[in-house]
Amino acid sequence: GAFLLRSLLAATVPVAVIAMFRRLGVPDRLATIVESESLVNDGTGVVLFTIALGILLSGRFQPLGAVALFLQLSVGGVAVGLAVGFALSRLTMRVDDPQVEITFTAIAAYGSYLLGEAIHVSGLLAVVAAALVMGNYGRTKGMSERTQLAARSFWDYVAFLLNSLVFLLIGLELPWTSV
């Protein structure tokens, strides 16, 4: 039970750190590293939560089985993400159209998640790995400056929209009281 709770609380949210980085003019590369590390922590936390929940529900704990499942989910998820990221990065190198290349980044995100979940590995870690490959390899090797700017604007907007949606949903769940 305690391990389940700990895996649930393992997620980190670097929003305040990233906001401070931007105010202080810290290089974007450092902010990307902090955000990436946070996403890997989140993905690992979800994998650990899945394992802990399975142990709690089954009532059986087999250490070697838990380690094997952790490796299957995490390493498998990263492998799927790397494969999808590299494949779509190679496609990006053959195209010079911002809309098509942004679509490739969206396919990398959603497609790697769906593929990972379909083959029973961590879809979340697949997304993180695919994004890291697309952002560090595909973007630099295959995208023009114009496309990079368009992709950054698109994903900044998507992040803003999803963060707003999360806070809106949280707000709707809070009880309304009159004073």
pTM of the predicted model, to two decimals?
0.78
CA–CA separation, 25 vs 130, rounded Å?
27
Q: Which of 6-15, 53-62, 95-104, 124-133 has the lowest mean pLDDT?
A: 6-15
- The span from the CA of 47 to the CA of 125, in Å, is 9
The structure tokens listed for 155 are 């994903």
**Higher-confidence position of 30 and 89:** 89
Q: What is the pLDDT of residue 159?
A: 87
Q: What is the pLDDT of residues 60-112, one digit of tens each?
A: 888 898 899 999 999 999 999 999 999 999 999 999 999 999 999 999 999 99
**Among 114, 126, 159, 112, which residue's Cα sits nearest to residue 47?**
126
Model confidence at 11, pLDDT cuts 50, 70, 90, reads: low
Inter-helix orientation angle 28-58/63-93, to 10°: 140
